[in-house]
């Protein structure tokens, strides 16, 4: 028998990036957690980071995306059940997220830094698998909205804030924990929720009429994420106008609420999470807030989910840097490591600068939300005003940068990055999601203009923050001066609208620059100001100017395993 032969030896291939602490390897995140008041959470973040970087967690992420959710509208005897079946990997990911409080910890343990600590956890765990964070985020965001109806919050908060994940398809009384979703948009309206046609009819059988707070909803919803959630916030037209409702999957009498899942969406990314179209056939619901004030009531949930859009995109940026720098550090070409090739070094350093800028802004934004905690101090008003303007500004720019950043990170791996066995294709498909969720770019920019018009003090709070870095870098000072001049000169919102994107981009860059100048080692802030604030502004990655200390930037950015 002839011996089997091999045509070549496999070498110069990159080992998988695994068995590392996702949190500790991200120095911008570690420093931000300390700076923004959540140092107490570091031990748990290291535990979660080690889990997120493990082979096991990465395999869970792969399985949850390869085995997509399946819709079962009826059981074997023909009864309507509207159940979505998930792969066990999805449930394990959810159990870890809930167990570590990503869904509700700031509400159950409202200490200083609670939202910052949670933000860091989301950035870390999102890098293991992104799709399941959607219902986690909605659960986190629904609590402040439910608190507009204290009796309803008292009934549901114990289930929503427990660290036990219970995927059982059962009424809330039979469950150890609950997860939330939302269903706001309709076919004809999209972001224009005031165009909703779903009707809400008060239940008057008990003679109490509208005072009972109980309604029956009839209509449809074009996007209902995580349809296996235990309850949903929905918008519908009540007699008094567009209103917000809490709609559970099960009615109080223990029967299924007629929320009919029509189909699951076939999405570009976020595939582990089910998104659906639903019909409401007289679904039982409770009013949240006052009739006619649905948008006002829902806005608190929207603000918190917008924060999570920032966190998700920040995680995408960081994972792109981690994968690209790891690959370039372990792959050689033309006689030396890719990371040491000058042009590749420039690209990698530029990607790392973008990730650092997103991280410092995300954690500073999260600190604004800590004004809600029980022991909040005298700076509450400043933080709340800053939250109003920063949430849309930071969401717009961080989410806009994610797809371009991920495409560049993928290109650093060459053809290997384009193959589905690599984590980059899934990361790339995920990268546009947060830019679409909770308001696409135009909607977000118009919200910034609305904040400038309705709450001018929020702009003053923004400038108070930026001025903390005054004198730290002349390019930042000049960019801030030019931006302030433009805002003061043009006060007509109609004239601002056509160039709102340019305005919001500049606001985001000036804010990121001010944070980096104040908090981050010189090479990072120097590279940011030179490439983003001087000259033409950000373009393709890999255009850091001569003299940039790229090596110092990369020393902070390459993950290590052990």
Predicted confidence (pLDDT) at residue 376 exceeds the cutoff of 80: no
pLDDT at 208: 44
- Decide if 265 contacts 276 (C-beta within 8 A): yes
Residue 167 has pLDDT above 90, yes or no: yes
What is the 8-class DSSP label of residue 101?
T
Q: Is the pLDDT of residue 60 over 90?
A: yes
pLDDT band at 562, cuts 50/70/90?
low
User: What is the SS3 string spanning 361-377?
Assistant: HHHHHHHHHHHHCCCCC
Query: Quick one: which of 229, 208, 307, 190 has its CA closest to 69?
Result: 229
Q: Are 87 and 104 in contact (CB under 8 A)?
A: no
Structure tokens at 473: 């870098």
Over residues 95-120, mean pLDDT: 97
Indicate left, alpha or beta for 476 from its phi (over 0: left) and psi (-120 to 50: alpha): alpha
Q: How far apart are CA 145 and CA 510, in angstroms?
A: 32
pLDDT at 560 over 90: no
Identify the band that residue 561 occupies on the pLDDT scale cut at 50, 70 and 90.
Answer: low
Would you say residue 405 has pLDDT above 90? yes
So what's the pLDDT on residue 373? 57
Sorting pLDDT into bands at 50, 70 and 90, what band is 377? very low
Q: How far apart are CA 200 and CA 283, in angstroms?
A: 9
End-to-end CA distance of the chain: 44
* Least confident among 225-239, 303-317, 534-548: 534-548
**pLDDT reported for residue 194:** 84
pLDDT (mean) for 395-408: 98
Q: How confident is the model at residue 205 (pLDDT cuts 50, 70, 90)?
A: low
State the pairing for strand pair 199-202/275-288: unpaired
Q: Is the pLDDT of residue 378 over 60?
A: no
Q: What is the pLDDT of residue 209?
A: 44
Are residues 440 and 352 in contact, defined by beta-carbon separation less than 8 angstroms?
no
pLDDT of residue 259: 97
Q: What is the mean pLDDT of residues 204-233?
A: 83
Is 224 a residue whose pLDDT tops 60?
yes
**In terms of C-beta distances under 8 Å and separation of at least 24 residues, what long-range contacts does 339-342 make, across chains too?**
339/554, 339/558
Q: Could you give the domains of the chain?
A: 27-161 (no CATH), 180-292 (2.40.110.20), 297-555 (1.20.140.10)
Cα 180 from Cα 150, distance rounded (Å): 17
String of b and e for 281-303 (b: at least 16 CB within 10 Å)? eebbbbbbbbbebbbebbebbbb
Instruction: With cut-offs at 50, 70 and 90, classify the pLDDT of residue 301.
Output: confident
Task: Work out the average pLDDT over 364-371.
Answer: 95
pLDDT, tens only, 239-263: 999 999 999 999 999 999 999 999 9
CA geometry: angle at 443 spanning 439 and 447, to 5°? 105
pLDDT for the residue 372: 64
- Burial level of 319, CB count in 10 A (0-12/13-18/19+)? buried
In contact, 302 and 438? CB cutoff 8 Å: yes
Q: What is the mean pLDDT of residues 368-392?
A: 80
Number of other CB atoms surrounding residue 408 within 10 Å:
19
Indicate the range of 201-215, 488-502, 512-526 predicted with least confidence: 201-215
Is 207 a residue whose pLDDT tops 50? no
Instruction: Give residue 538's pLDDT band: very low, low, confident or very high (50, 70, 90).
Output: confident
Q: What is the DSSP letter of 288?
A: E
């Amino acid at each position: 028998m002839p011996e089997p032969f091999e045509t070549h030896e496999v070498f110069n291939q990159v080992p998988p990036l695994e068995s590392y602490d996702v949190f500790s390897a991200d120095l911008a995140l570690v420093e931000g957690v300390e700076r923004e008041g959540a140092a107490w959470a570091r031990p748990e973040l290291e535990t979660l980071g080690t889990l997120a970087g493990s082979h096991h967690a990465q395999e869970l992420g792969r399985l949850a995306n390869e085995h997509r959710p399946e819709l079962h509208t009826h059981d074997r005897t023909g009864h309507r059940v509207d159940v979505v079946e998930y792969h066990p990997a999805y449930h394990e990911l959810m159990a870890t997220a809930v167990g570590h409080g990503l869904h509700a910890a700031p509400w159950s343990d409202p200490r200083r830094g609670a939202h910052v600590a949670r933000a860091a956890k989301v950035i870390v765990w999102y890098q293991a698998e992104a799709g399941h964070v959607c219902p986690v985020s909605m659960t986190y965001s629904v609590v402040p909205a439910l608190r507009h109806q204290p009796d309803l919050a008292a009934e549901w908060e114990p289930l929503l804030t427990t660290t036990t994940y219970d995927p059982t398809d059962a009424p809330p009384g039979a469950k150890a924990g609950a997860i939330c979703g939302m269903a706001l948009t309709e076919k004809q309206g999209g972001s224009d929720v005031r165009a909703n046609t779903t009707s809400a009819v008060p239940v008057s059988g008990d003679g109490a009429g509208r005072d009972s707070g109980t309604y029956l909803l009839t209509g449809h919803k074009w996007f209902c994420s995580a349809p296996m959630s235990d309850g949903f916030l929905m918008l519908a037209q009540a007699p008094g106008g567009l209103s917000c409702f809490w709609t559970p999957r099960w009615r109080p009498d223990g029967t299924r609420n007629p929320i009919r899942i029509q189909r699951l969406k076939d999405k570009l990314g976020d595939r582990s999470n089910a998104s659906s179209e639903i019909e409401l056939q007289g679904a039982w619901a409770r009013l949240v807030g006052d009739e006619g004030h649905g948008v006002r009531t829902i806005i608190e949930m929207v603000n918190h989910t917008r924060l999570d859009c920032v966190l998700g995109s920040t995680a995408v940026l960081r994972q792109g840097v981690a994968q690209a720098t790891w690959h370039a550090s372990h792959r050689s070409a033309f006689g030396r490591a890719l990371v040491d090739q000058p042009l590749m070094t420039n690209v990698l350093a530029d990607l790392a600068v973008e990730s650092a800028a997103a991280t410092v802004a995300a954690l500073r934004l999260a600190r604004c939300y800590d004004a809600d905690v029980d022991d909040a101090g005298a700076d509450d008003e400043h933080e709340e005003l800053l939250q109003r303007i920063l949430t849309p500004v930071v969401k717009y720019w961080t989410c806009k940068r994610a797809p371009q950043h991920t495409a560049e990170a993928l290109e650093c791996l060459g053809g290997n990055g384009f193959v589905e066995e690599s984590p980059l294709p899934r990361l790339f498909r995920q990268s546009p999601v947060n830019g679409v969720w909770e308001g696409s770019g135009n909607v977000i920019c118009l919200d910034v203009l609305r904040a400038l018009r309705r709450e001018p003090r929020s702009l003053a709070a923004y400038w108070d923050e930026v001025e903390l870095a005054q004198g730290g870098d002349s390019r930042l000072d000049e960019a801030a001066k030019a931006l302030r001049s433009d805002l003061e000169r043009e006060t007509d919102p109609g004239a601002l609208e056509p160039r709102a994107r340019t305005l919001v981009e500049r606001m985001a860059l000036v804010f990121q620059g001010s944070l980096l100048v104040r908090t981050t080692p010189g090479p990072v802030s120097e590279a940011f100001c030179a490439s983003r604030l001087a000259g033409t502004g950000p373009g393709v990655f890999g255009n850091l100017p001569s003299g940039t200390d790229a090596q110092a930037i990369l020393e902070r950015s390459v993950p290590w395993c052990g």
